[in-house]
Amino acid sequence: MPLYRPDRQEAWRLTQDYEGGFSSRTFHTHDGLKLYARDYGYDDPRTAGRAALVCLPGLTRNSRDFHQLAVLLSSQGEKPRRVVSFDYRGRGFSDWDEDKSHYNLLVEADDVIAGCAALGIESAVFLGTSRGGLTLHLIAGMRPALLKAVILNDIGPVIEGAGLAQIKAYLNRGEKPRDWHEAVKLLQDIHGRAFTALTEQDWVDMAYAIYAEIDGKVVGDFDPAIAQQMKDLDLSQPVQTLWQQFDALTAIPLMVIRGENSALLSEVTIDEMRRRHPRLTALTVAGHGHAPIVHLSGIPDAILRFIGDL
């Protein structure tokens, strides 16, 4: 059943009906944009007293990336947990920003802080995939009390140029899917070598997380200006590291997940992260590239072990 999106307001209802298990929440940023979040288990009394898990997606991704994980954790046995996943400005069901310069990590970190305040989250475990993990490096300096523990999904203080080149090449590809079948095939062509662990259904799920049907066309669910920033990136210049920001994370429980075939996060970087944070929990996921899909390949069990009774 394709996800039909005639307009954003109607799409909220249809998405919830199609996938289920969450409530759509909105809040306003300091500059007046209306942003969107999925909230799983917030009204379940069994989640009270247990730290929520807040999920932050990658560069052009959105809250749908975490749906299967969120359903699992928010309905899990005796210890269900509230899970919140955000759409940044310009992604998913959140407003697009007329000022494209606002698509940057500092603004997005401030948006996450505002979203947590609006949803009554004073402290939580945070899971950040790729750009979401970079955002968490900044939040560690901006609002450290918000972070009870952090999970970095295929990201660290050093971003490898080879990985950035792959992302840039992916966003520069001219192919546009004409339908959902082509969307699935395109993702397999681009990412198949790195994600050997995925089944056919996993590729379909990925397509529905990345793309949306708007005005009869299957398109990436984000403001094209965000991709343009990556296209304009000069890879001949050194990429700034975030070791100073990372050191602010060493006071809290920290887990890092790396895809076995990732070109963005190196084992050398993880070794240095472990040296600076001796209690670091590290997981390498076989058959995954950048970034591992968090509801597959035993990752949920690893997350549950890490979170424990937080």
Q: How confident is the model over 34-57, as pLDDT tens digits?
A: 999 999 999 899 998 899 999 999
The predicted structure's pLDDT at residue 189? 95
Better pLDDT: 271 or 13: 271
The predicted structure's pLDDT at residue 21? 87
The amino acid at residue 226 is I
The predicted structure's pLDDT at residue 73? 96
Taking only the tens place, the pLDDT of each residue in 108-147 is 999 999 999 999 999 999 999 999 999 999 999 999 999 9
The predicted structure's pLDDT at residue 235? 81
The predicted structure's pLDDT at residue 175? 82
In whole angstroms, give the CA distance from residue 175 to residue 35.
Answer: 29
The predicted structure's pLDDT at residue 19? 64
Is residue 238 pLDDT above 70, yes or no? yes
Is residue 78 pLDDT above 60, yes or no? yes
- Mean pLDDT on 197-219: 94
User: What is residue 281's DSSP assignment?
Assistant: E
The predicted structure's pLDDT at residue 234? 83
Pairing mode, strands 124-129 and 211-214: unpaired
The predicted structure's pLDDT at residue 138? 97
Is residue 16 pLDDT above 50, yes or no? no
Mean pLDDT for all residues in the chain: 91
How does 97-119 read in b/e, with b if 16+ C-beta sit within 10 Å?
beeeebbeeebbbbbbbbbbeeb
Per-residue pLDDT band at 309 (split at 50, 70, 90) = low
Taking only the tens place, the pLDDT of each residue in 152-185 is 999 999 999 999 889 988 887 778 899 999 999 9
User: What is residue 241's DSSP assignment?
Assistant: P
Per-residue pLDDT band at 231 (split at 50, 70, 90) = confident
Is residue 295 pLDDT above 90, yes or no? yes
Is residue 2 pLDDT above 80, yes or no? no
Q: What DSSP string runs through 55-120?
A: EE--TT--GGGGHHHHHHHHT-TT----EEEEEPTTBTTSPPPSSGGG-SHHHHHHHHHHHHHHTT
